[in-house]
Structure 1
Amino acid sequence: MAAARKVSDSETLMTHRALPEDANPAGNVHGGVILKHIDLAGAVCAMRHARMGVVTASIDRMEFKAPVHVGELMLLYASVNRVGKQSMEIGVRVVVENLMTGELRHAASAYLTFVAMGPDRKPAPTPDLILETPTHERRNREAEMRRKLRLEERQRERQAQESEKISHGNP
């Protein structure tokens, strides 16, 4: 497995200027367009950490906080928060810049989990993560809490599904 990598080694900034084809008739960028760019920025960050291909496994806590308008610049900041055996949580923050006034606002945030894929197209080990700052340490702790909650939720869902199968006699 590759040597551990620092958070700063894979931090990613991508930009996208919102164009008319990105928006609805009111001039607001569609959430799906923003989500596409979040996924792309997250994937680039994950690939920079793993130095191999990745696939999106899940998206958590997708929050739209402010609209993005045609003509504005989306700045997508992506950073590795946590690394598991084959997966990584990437946090992506979208800041919008009004290019005429310089005004900045927080438009969206999300946490995405990516799985590293080896040359055989199967999940592969990812390098460990070196946390460099107190912010990185906090993000790592929060990512671990989100992971724990996801696993607990999946377990509750499985139990509910099994209970439903038993009570209805379904296989």
Structure 2
Amino acid sequence: MKLFKLTVAVALAGATMFGAVSSASAAEKNWTPPAHKIYGQKLSDETMAAHPELLSVTLHGLVPGSTDKYTMFAGSYPERIGNPDDPDDIDVSKKGITIVDPRWNRTKDNPKKFVILMPMRDAKGENIGLVVYAWKNPPANANNSADEESYLKKANVLRDALAKKIPSYDALYADAK
């Protein structure tokens, strides 16, 4: 079995993760999806349908043909597709780190959620971007290391199952069949 180095960063209270993403307007988008459904969106939809415990699943990476435009290109919030990635999203894509974010002290999040940002992999095990999993309504005490480890294990299982369905990064942008 291939061993992967895993670096975990825990986002602390007051982190600005996702702050700009939810308010981006059409003028701020750096990519427009094609008129047809892409394979990446199909995978996101399938994951959401199979896992009702999730609040969202989003796929991020470089815009096709670009070397510096990182974006959300598929996910459970269609209005956010094409929004530029935040610096923490780009760090996950570029550095291969995982961010475990229990959303400590975030009273404005509704519903409450627990977020894991981790490298998205293809079927060969190569890091090809970022996948973000958000679970809804975590337990009130979901800010301890046991809960963080539990969510990280769940995210690894979901990500590894997703990877088996991704032959290449380019395939994520192909027409969903």
TM over 0.5: no
Q: From the two aligned structures, give the one with the greater helix fraction.
A: 1
TM-score (norm 2): 0.28
Q: From the two aligned structures, give the one with the greater strand fraction.
A: 1
TM-score (norm 1): 0.29
